[in-house]
Amino acid sequence: MNKEQLSQQIKAEALRLGFSACGIARAHFVGESKAHLEQWLAEGNQAGMSYMSNHLDKRCDPRLLVEGTKSIISVALNYSPSRKLRDDQLQFAYYAYGQDYHEVMKAKLTSLFNYINEQLHPVIGRVFCDTAPILDRYWAWQAGFGWIGKNTQLIIPHAGSYFFLGEILLDIDLEYDSPMKSRCGNCRRCLDACPTKALEKPFLLNANRCISYLTIENKGAIQAEYASKMSNHLYGCDDCQKCCPWNRFATSHLVPELQPSEAFLSMERTDWEDLTVEQYRTLFKGSAVKRAKYEGLMRNLKAVLPED
Protein backbone atom coordinates (compact mmCIF):
# COMPACT_ATOMS: atom_id res chain seq x y z
CA MET A 1 0.00 0.00 0.00
CA ASN A 2 1.47 3.40 -0.94
CA LYS A 3 1.28 6.42 1.36
CA GLU A 4 -1.69 7.94 -0.50
CA GLN A 5 -3.72 4.75 -0.03
CA LEU A 6 -2.57 4.45 3.57
CA SER A 7 -3.67 8.01 4.31
CA GLN A 8 -7.07 7.49 2.71
CA GLN A 9 -7.64 4.30 4.71
CA ILE A 10 -6.68 6.07 7.94
CA LYS A 11 -9.12 8.92 7.27
CA ALA A 12 -11.91 6.52 6.35
CA GLU A 13 -11.41 4.56 9.58
CA ALA A 14 -11.32 7.80 11.62
CA LEU A 15 -14.74 8.75 10.25
CA ARG A 16 -16.03 5.21 10.84
CA LEU A 17 -14.95 5.51 14.50
CA GLY A 18 -17.11 8.62 14.85
CA PHE A 19 -14.61 11.43 14.37
CA SER A 20 -16.02 14.31 12.33
CA ALA A 21 -12.75 15.25 10.68
CA CYS A 22 -9.27 13.83 10.17
CA GLY A 23 -6.23 15.34 8.48
CA ILE A 24 -2.52 14.66 8.32
CA ALA A 25 0.46 17.01 8.65
CA ARG A 26 4.18 16.49 8.32
CA ALA A 27 5.82 16.79 11.76
CA HIS A 28 7.85 20.00 11.95
CA PHE A 29 9.02 22.87 14.14
CA VAL A 30 6.11 25.31 14.44
CA GLY A 31 8.22 28.34 13.43
CA GLU A 32 6.74 31.75 14.18
CA SER A 33 3.97 30.19 16.28
CA LYS A 34 6.67 29.57 18.89
CA ALA A 35 7.55 33.29 18.97
CA HIS A 36 3.84 34.14 19.40
CA LEU A 37 3.53 31.64 22.23
CA GLU A 38 6.64 32.99 23.95
CA GLN A 39 5.31 36.53 23.74
CA TRP A 40 1.88 35.43 25.05
CA LEU A 41 3.60 33.75 28.00
CA ALA A 42 5.97 36.67 28.64
CA GLU A 43 2.94 38.99 28.89
CA GLY A 44 1.43 36.70 31.56
CA ASN A 45 -1.67 35.78 29.53
CA GLN A 46 -1.55 32.19 30.80
CA ALA A 47 -2.59 33.40 34.30
CA GLY A 48 -2.12 30.51 36.76
CA MET A 49 -1.55 27.89 34.05
CA SER A 50 2.20 27.89 34.58
CA TYR A 51 2.44 24.42 32.99
CA MET A 52 2.03 26.20 29.63
CA SER A 53 5.65 27.33 29.93
CA ASN A 54 6.90 23.81 30.56
CA HIS A 55 8.58 21.79 27.80
CA LEU A 56 8.41 24.67 25.34
CA ASP A 57 10.83 23.02 22.91
CA LYS A 58 8.78 19.81 22.85
CA ARG A 59 5.52 21.77 22.63
CA CYS A 60 6.82 23.51 19.52
CA ASP A 61 8.33 20.48 17.81
CA PRO A 62 6.58 17.09 18.22
CA ARG A 63 9.70 15.31 16.96
CA LEU A 64 11.27 16.21 20.32
CA LEU A 65 8.22 14.92 22.18
CA VAL A 66 8.24 11.48 20.50
CA GLU A 67 11.51 10.63 18.82
CA GLY A 68 11.19 9.47 15.25
CA THR A 69 7.84 11.19 14.61
CA LYS A 70 7.28 11.93 10.93
CA SER A 71 3.52 12.42 10.69
CA ILE A 72 0.79 13.88 12.83
CA ILE A 73 -2.75 12.64 12.36
CA SER A 74 -5.19 15.17 13.77
CA VAL A 75 -8.82 14.31 14.52
CA ALA A 76 -11.91 16.17 15.75
CA LEU A 77 -14.82 14.77 17.76
CA ASN A 78 -18.11 16.70 17.85
CA TYR A 79 -19.42 17.62 21.33
CA SER A 80 -22.29 19.92 20.36
CA PRO A 81 -25.16 18.73 22.59
CA SER A 82 -28.67 17.95 21.38
CA ARG A 83 -30.21 18.60 24.81
CA LYS A 84 -29.12 21.76 26.58
CA LEU A 85 -29.65 23.54 29.86
CA ARG A 86 -32.39 26.17 29.54
CA ASP A 87 -31.14 29.75 29.23
CA ASP A 88 -32.56 30.60 32.66
CA GLN A 89 -30.60 27.80 34.38
CA LEU A 90 -27.01 28.23 35.57
CA GLN A 91 -24.81 27.39 32.60
CA PHE A 92 -22.02 24.89 31.99
CA ALA A 93 -19.74 24.90 28.94
CA TYR A 94 -21.04 22.32 26.46
CA TYR A 95 -17.83 20.29 26.57
CA ALA A 96 -18.50 19.49 30.24
CA TYR A 97 -22.04 18.16 29.82
CA GLY A 98 -21.16 14.47 29.68
CA GLN A 99 -18.41 12.11 30.78
CA ASP A 100 -14.76 13.16 30.80
CA TYR A 101 -13.80 13.63 27.15
CA HIS A 102 -10.22 12.50 27.78
CA GLU A 103 -11.42 8.92 28.25
CA VAL A 104 -13.73 9.01 25.22
CA MET A 105 -11.06 10.50 22.96
CA LYS A 106 -8.31 8.21 24.21
CA ALA A 107 -10.40 5.09 23.50
CA LYS A 108 -11.20 6.23 19.94
CA LEU A 109 -7.63 7.35 19.23
CA THR A 110 -6.29 4.04 20.51
CA SER A 111 -8.71 2.16 18.25
CA LEU A 112 -7.46 4.18 15.28
CA PHE A 113 -3.83 3.59 16.23
CA ASN A 114 -4.41 -0.17 16.60
CA TYR A 115 -6.19 -0.31 13.25
CA ILE A 116 -3.23 1.37 11.54
CA ASN A 117 -0.68 -0.81 13.29
CA GLU A 118 -2.51 -4.13 12.90
CA GLN A 119 -4.38 -3.74 9.61
CA LEU A 120 -2.41 -1.27 7.51
CA HIS A 121 1.27 -0.90 8.40
CA PRO A 122 3.43 -1.61 11.48
CA VAL A 123 4.03 1.72 13.21
CA ILE A 124 5.59 3.20 16.30
CA GLY A 125 3.76 6.15 17.79
CA ARG A 126 1.58 7.60 20.53
CA VAL A 127 -1.89 9.04 20.96
CA PHE A 128 -2.65 12.33 22.68
CA CYS A 129 -5.69 14.31 23.79
CA ASP A 130 -4.81 17.22 26.06
CA THR A 131 -2.38 14.90 27.76
CA ALA A 132 0.97 16.27 26.59
CA PRO A 133 2.51 19.54 25.43
CA ILE A 134 1.13 19.68 21.88
CA LEU A 135 -0.36 22.68 20.06
CA ASP A 136 -3.52 20.81 19.10
CA ARG A 137 -5.25 23.68 17.27
CA TYR A 138 -2.09 24.40 15.29
CA TRP A 139 -1.90 20.77 14.15
CA ALA A 140 -5.59 20.60 13.25
CA TRP A 141 -5.04 23.73 11.13
CA GLN A 142 -1.91 22.24 9.54
CA ALA A 143 -3.83 19.01 8.91
CA GLY A 144 -6.15 21.05 6.72
CA PHE A 145 -9.61 20.63 8.21
CA GLY A 146 -10.05 23.99 9.93
CA TRP A 147 -8.52 27.34 10.79
CA ILE A 148 -7.80 29.08 14.09
CA GLY A 149 -10.46 31.78 14.49
CA LYS A 150 -10.12 35.20 16.10
CA ASN A 151 -11.62 33.59 19.23
CA THR A 152 -8.56 31.23 19.25
CA GLN A 153 -10.79 28.19 18.64
CA LEU A 154 -10.34 25.73 15.79
CA ILE A 155 -13.20 26.30 13.34
CA ILE A 156 -14.29 23.68 10.84
CA PRO A 157 -16.10 25.20 7.85
CA HIS A 158 -19.82 24.42 7.82
CA ALA A 159 -19.47 22.56 11.14
CA GLY A 160 -18.30 25.09 13.75
CA SER A 161 -15.99 24.86 16.74
CA TYR A 162 -17.60 22.47 19.24
CA PHE A 163 -14.96 19.78 18.74
CA PHE A 164 -12.47 17.94 20.91
CA LEU A 165 -9.10 17.60 19.20
CA GLY A 166 -6.66 14.71 19.42
CA GLU A 167 -3.50 13.55 17.71
CA ILE A 168 -1.61 10.41 16.75
CA LEU A 169 2.13 10.83 16.24
CA LEU A 170 3.58 8.22 13.87
CA ASP A 171 7.01 7.23 12.59
CA ILE A 172 5.96 6.76 8.95
CA ASP A 173 5.55 9.18 6.04
CA LEU A 174 2.00 9.75 4.82
CA GLU A 175 0.26 11.99 2.30
CA TYR A 176 0.03 15.48 3.79
CA ASP A 177 -2.82 17.99 3.75
CA SER A 178 -2.39 21.76 3.39
CA PRO A 179 -3.25 24.32 6.09
CA MET A 180 -6.64 25.96 5.64
CA LYS A 181 -6.96 29.72 5.07
CA SER A 182 -8.86 31.74 7.67
CA ARG A 183 -12.50 32.38 6.84
CA CYS A 184 -13.18 34.85 9.68
CA GLY A 185 -13.04 37.73 7.21
CA ASN A 186 -14.11 41.06 8.72
CA CYS A 187 -16.21 39.40 11.41
CA ARG A 188 -15.39 40.28 15.04
CA ARG A 189 -18.49 39.00 16.81
CA CYS A 190 -16.46 36.91 19.27
CA LEU A 191 -14.46 39.96 20.39
CA ASP A 192 -17.65 41.96 20.87
CA ALA A 193 -19.48 39.12 22.66
CA CYS A 194 -16.85 38.35 25.30
CA PRO A 195 -18.34 39.58 28.62
CA THR A 196 -14.98 40.31 30.25
CA LYS A 197 -13.05 41.47 27.15
CA ALA A 198 -10.67 38.55 27.58
CA LEU A 199 -10.23 38.50 23.81
CA GLU A 200 -8.11 41.64 23.86
CA LYS A 201 -7.57 41.58 20.11
CA PRO A 202 -8.02 38.98 17.38
CA PHE A 203 -6.24 35.73 18.32
CA LEU A 204 -5.16 37.08 21.74
CA LEU A 205 -6.89 35.57 24.76
CA ASN A 206 -5.90 36.88 28.18
CA ALA A 207 -6.75 33.99 30.53
CA ASN A 208 -6.63 36.33 33.55
CA ARG A 209 -9.93 37.77 32.35
CA CYS A 210 -11.50 34.66 30.80
CA ILE A 211 -14.52 33.12 32.54
CA SER A 212 -13.48 29.66 31.36
CA TYR A 213 -10.17 30.00 33.14
CA LEU A 214 -11.60 31.81 36.18
CA THR A 215 -14.25 29.11 36.82
CA ILE A 216 -12.20 25.99 35.99
CA GLU A 217 -8.40 26.12 36.21
CA ASN A 218 -8.20 29.10 38.55
CA LYS A 219 -7.37 28.08 42.13
CA GLY A 220 -7.96 31.46 43.74
CA ALA A 221 -10.85 33.82 44.32
CA ILE A 222 -12.75 35.42 41.45
CA GLN A 223 -12.25 39.18 41.50
CA ALA A 224 -15.42 41.27 41.83
CA GLU A 225 -14.60 42.99 38.53
CA TYR A 226 -15.08 39.68 36.68
CA ALA A 227 -17.69 38.13 38.98
CA SER A 228 -20.01 41.01 38.13
CA LYS A 229 -19.77 40.04 34.44
CA MET A 230 -20.23 36.29 34.83
CA SER A 231 -24.01 36.42 34.51
CA ASN A 232 -25.16 32.78 34.86
CA HIS A 233 -21.87 31.08 33.86
CA LEU A 234 -21.37 28.55 36.63
CA TYR A 235 -18.70 26.44 34.91
CA GLY A 236 -16.85 27.58 31.79
CA CYS A 237 -18.12 29.86 29.06
CA ASP A 238 -19.04 29.36 25.41
CA ASP A 239 -20.03 32.96 24.58
CA CYS A 240 -17.25 33.47 22.02
CA GLN A 241 -18.35 30.26 20.29
CA LYS A 242 -22.13 30.63 20.56
CA CYS A 243 -21.93 33.94 18.69
CA CYS A 244 -19.71 32.58 15.93
CA PRO A 245 -21.65 32.36 12.65
CA TRP A 246 -19.92 29.08 11.80
CA ASN A 247 -21.58 27.42 14.77
CA ARG A 248 -24.97 27.92 13.10
CA PHE A 249 -23.91 24.84 11.14
CA ALA A 250 -23.24 22.76 14.27
CA THR A 251 -25.09 19.46 14.41
CA SER A 252 -25.63 17.39 17.53
CA HIS A 253 -23.07 14.74 18.43
CA LEU A 254 -24.00 11.06 18.64
CA VAL A 255 -21.59 9.96 21.39
CA PRO A 256 -23.51 8.26 24.23
CA GLU A 257 -20.81 8.99 26.83
CA LEU A 258 -21.05 12.73 26.15
CA GLN A 259 -24.81 12.93 26.76
CA PRO A 260 -25.83 14.92 29.86
CA SER A 261 -27.74 13.10 32.59
CA GLU A 262 -31.35 13.93 33.46
CA ALA A 263 -30.20 14.90 36.95
CA PHE A 264 -27.74 17.43 35.51
CA LEU A 265 -30.24 18.94 33.08
CA SER A 266 -32.85 19.36 35.79
CA MET A 267 -30.63 21.30 38.23
CA GLU A 268 -32.23 24.59 39.26
CA ARG A 269 -30.56 27.47 41.12
CA THR A 270 -31.81 26.30 44.49
CA ASP A 271 -30.49 22.78 43.79
CA TRP A 272 -27.03 24.23 43.23
CA GLU A 273 -27.31 26.28 46.43
CA ASP A 274 -28.29 23.17 48.41
CA LEU A 275 -25.77 20.83 46.74
CA THR A 276 -23.80 18.69 49.21
CA VAL A 277 -20.37 17.18 48.57
CA GLU A 278 -21.97 13.73 48.24
CA GLN A 279 -24.52 14.97 45.69
CA TYR A 280 -21.72 16.74 43.81
CA ARG A 281 -19.73 13.48 43.63
CA THR A 282 -22.73 11.56 42.33
CA LEU A 283 -23.73 14.22 39.82
CA PHE A 284 -20.23 14.52 38.34
CA LYS A 285 -18.98 10.95 38.64
CA GLY A 286 -16.65 10.39 35.68
CA SER A 287 -17.03 14.01 34.54
CA ALA A 288 -14.36 16.59 33.72
CA VAL A 289 -16.20 19.00 36.05
CA LYS A 290 -14.36 17.31 38.91
CA ARG A 291 -11.39 19.41 37.79
CA ALA A 292 -12.93 22.42 39.56
CA LYS A 293 -13.64 20.40 42.74
CA TYR A 294 -16.66 20.99 44.98
CA GLU A 295 -15.07 24.02 46.62
CA GLY A 296 -14.33 25.52 43.19
CA LEU A 297 -17.92 25.07 42.07
CA MET A 298 -19.20 26.68 45.27
CA ARG A 299 -16.81 29.60 44.73
CA ASN A 300 -18.28 30.01 41.22
CA LEU A 301 -21.79 29.79 42.61
CA LYS A 302 -21.07 32.58 45.06
CA ALA A 303 -19.77 34.70 42.19
CA VAL A 304 -22.87 34.24 40.01
CA LEU A 305 -25.60 34.48 42.65
CA PRO A 306 -26.71 37.98 43.63
CA GLU A 307 -25.68 39.16 47.10
CA ASP A 308 -28.48 38.94 49.67
Binding positions for ligand SF4, rule: CB under 6 A: 149-151, 155, 184, 187-190, 194-196, 198-199, 205, 210-212, 237, 239-240, 243-246
Nearer to ligand SF4, 38 or 192 (CB): 192
Nearer to ligand SF4, 247 or 279 (CB): 247
- Contact of 76 with 140, CB cutoff 8 Å: yes
183-205 CB burial, b ≥16 within 10 A, e <16: ebeebeebbeebbbebbeeeebb
Nearer to ligand SF4, 201 or 281 (CB): 201
- Contact of 234 with 269, CB cutoff 8 Å: no
Nearer to ligand SF4, 71 or 196 (CB): 196
Whether 130 is a known active-site residue: answer yes
Tell me the closest approach of the beta carbon of residue 234 to ligand SF4, in angstroms: 13
Q: In whole angstroms, give the CA distance from residue 60 to residue 30.
A: 5
Nearer to ligand SF4, 112 or 239 (CB): 239
- Contact of 238 with 94, CB cutoff 8 Å: yes
- Contact of 245 with 152, CB cutoff 8 Å: no
Tell me the closest approach of the beta carbon of residue 95 to ligand SF4, in angstroms: 11
Nearer to ligand SF4, 145 or 246 (CB): 246
Tell me the closest approach of the beta carbon of residue 79 to ligand SF4, in angstroms: 15
Q: Which of 130, 171, 173, 271 is catalytic?
A: 130
Tell me the closest approach of the beta carbon of residue 169 to ligand SF4, in angstroms: 28
Tell me the closest approach of the beta carbon of residue 197 to ligand SF4, in angstroms: 8
Q: Which residue is nearest to ligand SF4 (CB)?
A: 149
The DSSP bridge partners found for residue 167 are 74, 128
Tell me the closest approach of the beta carbon of residue 47 to ligand SF4, in angstroms: 11
Q: Are strands 199-201 and 204-205 parallel, antiparallel or unpaired?
A: antiparallel
- Residues with catalytic function: 130
